[in-house]
Amino acid sequence: MQPKTHRYEVTAARDVDTDEIELNPTSESTRKRSYVRHGTFSNHGWGLELLSSFTTLLLFSGMVAIFCSMRNKPYREWPLSISINTIIAIMSTACTAAMMHNVSAFIGQLKWLHFRRSPQSVYDVERFDEASRGPLGAILLIYRLPWNLATLGAFITILRLGFSPLSQAVVSLEPKMVDVPSNDSTFGYAHAYDRNMTTGALSEIPPDTQMQSAILQGLYDISSIPVFNCGGACLWRDPYVSLGFKSTCKNVTMSTLETKHCIKPEGRPGMAYYPNCNFTTPGNITLTTQHVQTDSQTTFRINATRTQLDHPDNITTTLDDIVRIAVWRSGYDTSFNATDINITECAVGFTAYEYPRAEANGSTFSFGKVAEMDIKHANWSWENPMAQTPLTSNKTSSLPPFKISIVDIEALQAFFESTTFQSEFVSGSAKNNNPGLSAALDGNTNLTRAFDNMARGMTDYLRSGPNEKLAKGVLRENQIFVFIRCLDDSRHCEEARGAAVEIFGSCIIKLSA
């Protein structure tokens, strides 16, 4: 059987698309009806992108607001229980996520602009898609395609890796010393030396035992504990002027030895030596020494005399010289003759000191550079001219008003002239009835330093004595402060600039897309 043959005939050409339209005339209108233009803010339009852009700007602005509001403030003012670094970490992470949603979408849209300009390789579609997904694709986009607006999105994709850690690095919590007002931070100063006492005869002058104790402690180099109140570390920034004492010493050996006058014992005309000799210092202080050949020799002698304060004009010029003290010190040879004689004369009187910037920390207390102030020309006068007590001064531009009781001055002078202070030590076989201060002021002692210590002790007593005034300072506490490095250190401003470039760069891409 032969296979069946088919006959092919020529037929008219036909447009399939046209036939389809003719067969289905409602298709075009159907397509037109199926296309719906969505609103800009709808879910199918740019609504989500605009929302993420707004969220990005809002979070970034919130971070800047936190930086500005907490800059250089104590961390205890932070109102939330979550730490500021944690809040910044959360906000920066959320800001990055919102920003990258936009950047990824915009890079995906910009690829169509890339193909619209000119024919491009199909592989460029893959490169744009990879760039919208992560930093590796962004790097490949930068190196493999000509730079365009999508390149900015690629850079943002790469730089956003450092956005969160750099945002947290902007905030620094550091300790800082702060001043806290405190009524318990005090030290004493005085503008008066007046125990408010009266007297009749000289023998009735009441002694100031605390002042006497301060004198002896200073001479024996016993450091007194500074009187102050402080509950930790304290500071007094203002300077304070206080009444005090000073001493000035000088070597008068040569001029005093020239006044030597020895007394020959009565009833012993054949004696070849003079056991007692008197010496007078330039300050009119008499020093008497004893000497017995091959037996004994005075090696220490201290004597004092008061300055006369009876005349009103005299007292104002001698306030810095109310007592003069002379000290004899010497060695002796095998025959007990005096050798290496040293005679020192010191003057003790009132002065004023300015104490700047006092500081205390625990048990230590110190001042800045203490300056002495002249009080002789402070316009002194008697408060009661008839009774000549007390002595007062008017306030000047640099000095406060002072008040000094003549009774207390006389009590101080009486102590220096008493046997408690005046003493003698005789080396050899002689009996020492009053060695007194010889142990404190022997030949190895620096007398200038010793009497300076004495004046300092007397001044400290005045500052904490019956006329004490309280200087109030501040308590220094170590508190944690918030420092914003971008605002406090220009080197860290690059971090904020990089963040701003990312934020505004994403906005530019959105607008262009």
Assess whether 433 and 485 both reside in one domain: no
pLDDT of residue 282: 94
Higher pLDDT, 463 or 223: 463
Assess whether 158 and 296 both reside in one domain: no
CA distance 124 to 166: 33
Residue 263 confidence class, pLDDT cut points 50, 70, 90: confident
Q: What is the dihedral of CA 227, 229, 235, 238, to 10 degrees?
A: -70
Percent of the chain predicted with pLDDT > 90:
33
pLDDT over 70 (residue 315): no
Assess whether 90 and 211 both reside in one domain: no
Assess whether 197 and 163 both reside in one domain: no
CA distance 416 to 306: 8
Q: Kindly state the tokens that stand for 489.
A: 């250190």
Beta strands in 356-450 (DSSP E): 358-361, 364-366, 371-373, 380-382, 391-393, 403-404, 423-428
pLDDT over 90 (residue 254): yes
Q: Would you say residue 474 lies in a domain?
A: no
Q: What angle do CA 53, 56, 62 make, to 5 degrees?
A: 140
Strands 192-193 and 403-404: parallel
Q: Would you say residue 213 lies in a domain?
A: yes
pLDDT in tens, 224-253: 778 899 988 999 999 999 999 999 999 999
Assess whether 307 and 416 both reside in one domain: yes
Contacts of residue 138, defined as CB under 8 A and 6 or more positions apart, other chains included, come to 131, 153, 154, 155, 157, 158
Assess whether 211 and 130 both reside in one domain: no
Beta strands in 310-402 (DSSP E): 323-332, 338-355, 358-361, 364-366, 371-373, 380-382, 391-393
pLDDT over 70 (residue 312): no
Contacts of residue 112, defined as CB under 8 A and 6 or more positions apart, other chains included, come to none
Assess whether 379 and 256 both reside in one domain: yes
pLDDT of residue 16: 47
pLDDT in tens, 432-457: 888 889 889 987 899 999 999 999 99
Alpha-helical segments (H) within 76-131: 84-117, 123-131
CA distance 425 to 289: 10
Q: Would you say residue 31 lies in a domain?
A: no
Q: Would you say residue 24 lies in a domain?
A: no
pLDDT of residue 114: 66
Q: What angle do CA 261, 267, 269 make, to 5 degrees?
A: 65
Q: Would you say residue 228 lies in a domain?
A: yes
Residue (of 277, 296, 297) closest to 287 by Cα position: 277
Higher pLDDT, 266 or 178: 178
Assess whether 332 and 462 both reside in one domain: yes
* Least confident among 143-157, 313-327, 404-418, 488-502: 488-502
Assess whether 232 and 356 both reside in one domain: yes
Give rounded-to-5 percent helix, strand, coil for the chain: 40, 25, 35
Assess whether 165 and 94 both reside in one domain: yes
Assess whether 243 and 145 both reside in one domain: no
Assess whether 504 and 438 both reside in one domain: no
Which one-letter amino acid corresponds to residue 160?
A: R
pLDDT of residue 492: 47
Domain count across the chain: 2
Q: Would you say residue 82 lies in a domain?
A: yes
Q: Would you say residue 94 lies in a domain?
A: yes
* Least confident among 73-77, 238-242, 376-380: 376-380
Over residues 304-322, the mean pLDDT reads 74
Over residues 413-432, the mean pLDDT reads 91
**Domain of residue 96, residue span:** 39-173+481-512
Neighbours of 61 (CB within 10 A): 12
375 in Cβ contact with 352 (< 8 Å): yes
Over residues 101-106, the mean pLDDT reads 74
Over residues 373-388, the mean pLDDT reads 76
CA distance 199 to 487: 70
Q: Would you say residue 26 lies in a domain?
A: no
Residue 55 confidence class, pLDDT cut points 50, 70, 90: confident
